[in-house]
A and B are shown apart, each in its own frame.
Chain A
Amino acid sequence: MEILTFALHLHRMSILPKILMLCQRLGGEVTYVSAADGRANIVVAAPNEAAHRFAPQIRRLIDVLELTELHAVGLSDADAQTTQERLRHTA
């Protein structure tokens, strides 16, 4: 599993359930959500093989104004490489 952390800026908060359902559909397990005033933070445990699909599929939803994927510092070289590889292909 890969832990994905998203910081979202939403035009309407009503889009939040759609985001959570999408995470579930992509095989992820949402482990943390906080949301208020058009901002949301979501942490998802995502299957490695599907992790690259989350950010672009969330980003394309209408009412998602901005999506930032956050990364913990201090990744091992191997993990950092995987993450960079994925980001390159979803940029």
Chain B
Amino acid sequence: MPNQPEQTKMRTGSRVVIDALEQAGVTVAFGYPGGAIMPLYDELLDTTIEHVLTRHEQGAIHAADGFARSTGRVGVCIATSGPGATNLVTGICTAQMDSSPVLCITGQVPSALIGTDGFQEADVLGVVTSITKQAYLVRSVDDLPRVMAEALFICKSGRPGPVLVDIPKDVLIAKTSKTCEPVTSLPGYHPAPKLKSSAVKNAHKILKESKQPVCIVGGGCRLSDATRLFREWCDNTHVPVITTLMGLGSTEPGYSGWLGMPGMHGLRRANRAIVDCDVIVAMGIRFDDRVTGKLAAFAPDARIIHVDIDEAELSKLIKVEAPIHADLSETLAAWNALLDEDPIEVFDAWQKQAMDVGDGLRPNDAHDADNIPPTTLLDEVLELIGPDAIVTTDVGQHQMWAAQRVRPSDPKKWVTSGGAGTMGYGLPSAMGAQMACPDQRVLAICGDGGFQMTMAELATVARCKLPLKILLMDNKYLGMVRQWQELFFENRYSAVDLSDNPDFAALARVYGLQAFTLDHVDEMSSTLSAWWNCEGPALLHAVCHLEENVFPMVPAGAGLGDMVESA
């Protein structure tokens, strides 16, 4: 029988979803099946898309997020209705806060049961509305081709973000002849604002008038694929550069004016430069409270230039003198061209002055040799793995210690939950990154608290034979909370004790991973080498000092000039 013409070919809702994903170049989806989403899982058997079965929906969405951040492509996760969908919520919020392009496809109970408190029914649209860039409940299969095309477009365009498509089971089964070409515009949606050359000229003029400028670059550099242009801008200006938690890796690893991370656990020289500078060039940042500290004390003498694709970020928290509402890549291309035409006097002297302030990092407190000093460990690990490995983290002390030290060669090689601060992110996001980049080395740095939130994903790692390495820094506390209780709650430790942690190495072996234990300083080099160089997935359980603190630290509510460098 001859093929039917495309416009009259009937497809099920499930096939529409798969076709849309394939057409968009999706090769991997992470998910967990259940009743309402079964028609889609049946269709997944007949597709080129590789499905990774995680052990919890949270693992699936964090993996999709890690996939997205390490590639810049859309990460896809799938879950069923009710609890399946609500288990995605933390991951959706994580993606939203860090502008990660994650597409969530959830099954919903059959249309007739919606609103009847049916089995595994939840108002998913209502739950996720405020934490998604856009969310859909598809009521008719005829709408599905358009909705999928819109969802994929919205997810990735402009300032990226998570999009959820909730599909009732009967819609997945029903057939339609409708098709939809990829969407490239939507009414009222302006993802690519037009760059005004006058705005760039104004910024250039302010920079020329400056004596002590500082650039703060954030996650927008990665999202805009602006790394090469940004590095060119740095070479043209020699402006000292501060990279936020989300912007780490934006500078060349050897850039002489890299001041490090700013803010609550920022480096001394970064925070000092913000206090002392006369101009801030903010690129793709959102002036998070962890970056600014007390707003009134933030860069008190500085004129602010702010480039962002999202107009709502301009002057949201800090009054901006020169807003540039545009894509960062486009802006940098124009600014670099202007710098060629009208060069500025580079800021070498100021750069040296800013660098000479020092990083404020201190050696670990003296302890016995039977436990591992965490920052020494991280120094050695980061030296061992080099700048080209992809590093993911959980959230807490280990994340801040790593952020103070890591020098990735590209911002896509640093995957961490910034805005949401989601514990349990490290392991599943590493899975996503490893699936996305099978030829690259991937390291997940986890704390003992966060690791136990998603450690069931060790089964996924083992099944998929993902050769990622896990560094588990175990200090038997919820360390960051304990640190705050020590410093701000008079040592009254409340609900932070993890002294009965399991033997994590034994646990990893049960799941089929290789595992190493490091509990003595003298064995550090040899154990690290054996762990990092072994074949396949492997976990290193590092038994760390119990009560090490992260310094420097700017107490909550204080200005960046009020850094504390020791207890």
Query: What residues make up the interface of A, taking CB atoms closer than 8 Å to B?
Result: 9, 11, 17-18, 21-22, 25, 52-53, 56-57, 59-60, 62-66, 89-90
Contact = CB atoms under 8 A, between A and B. Distances in A.
Q: Which of B186, B188, B319, B320 has the most CB of A within 10 A?
A: B188
Given A11-B187, A65-B187, A89-B320, A60 B312 contact: yes
Contacts of B186: 11, 62
A63 B188 contact: yes
Contacts of A65: 187-188
Interface size bracket, B side: 10 to 19
Contacts of B316: 52-53, 56
Contacts of B134: 62-63
Given A18-B130, A57-B312, A60-B310, 18 more contacts: A17-B129, A52-B315, A52-B316, A53-B312, A53-B316, A56-B312, A59-B311, A59-B312, A60-B311, A62-B133, A62-B134, A63-B134, A63-B188, A65-B187, A89-B315, A89-B323, A90-B314, A90-B315
Which 8 A-B pairs rank lowest in CB-CB distance, beginning with the nearest? Answer: A65-B188, A56-B312, A89-B315, A62-B134, A57-B312, A60-B312, A18-B129, A56-B311
A34 B320 CA distance: 34
Q: Which of A18, A25, A52, A56 has the most CB of B within 10 A?
A: A56
Interface of B: 129-130, 133-134, 154, 186-189, 310-312, 314-316, 319-320, 323
B313 to A, nearest CB: 8
A56 B188 CA distance: 13
A53 B315 CA distance: 8
Contact of B188 (A18, A57, A66): A66
A11 B314 CA distance: 25
Contacts of B154: 62
Nearest to B315: A89
A64 B186 CA distance: 11
A25 B312 contact: no
A65 B187 CA distance: 6
B188 A64 contact: yes
Contacts of A25: 130
Contacts of A53: 312, 316
Given A11-B188, A65-B187, A65-B188, A21 B312 contact: no
Nearest to A24: B130
B491 to A, nearest CB: 35
Given A11-B188, A63-B188, A21 B130 contact: yes
A58 to B, nearest CB: 9
A62 B134 CA distance: 7
A65 B189 CA distance: 7
Contacts of A60: 310-312
B246 to A, nearest CB: 19
Contacts of A66: 188
A62 B185 CA distance: 11
A62 B188 CA distance: 7
Contact of A22 (B130, B187, B189): B130
Nearest to B136: A14
B183 to A, nearest CB: 12
Q: Which of A52, A60, A89 has the most CB of B within 10 A?
A: A60
A21 B129 CA distance: 9
A6 B189 CA distance: 18
A63 B135 CA distance: 11
Nearest to A22: B130
Nearest to B317: A53
A90 B323 CA distance: 10
A78 B459 CA distance: 64
A22 B310 CA distance: 16
B130 to A, nearest CB: 5
A40 B389 CA distance: 51
Contacts of B319: 89
A73 to B, nearest CB: 26
B420 to A, nearest CB: 16
B460 to A, nearest CB: 33
Nearest to B319: A89
A91 to B, nearest CB: 9
Contacts of B189: 62
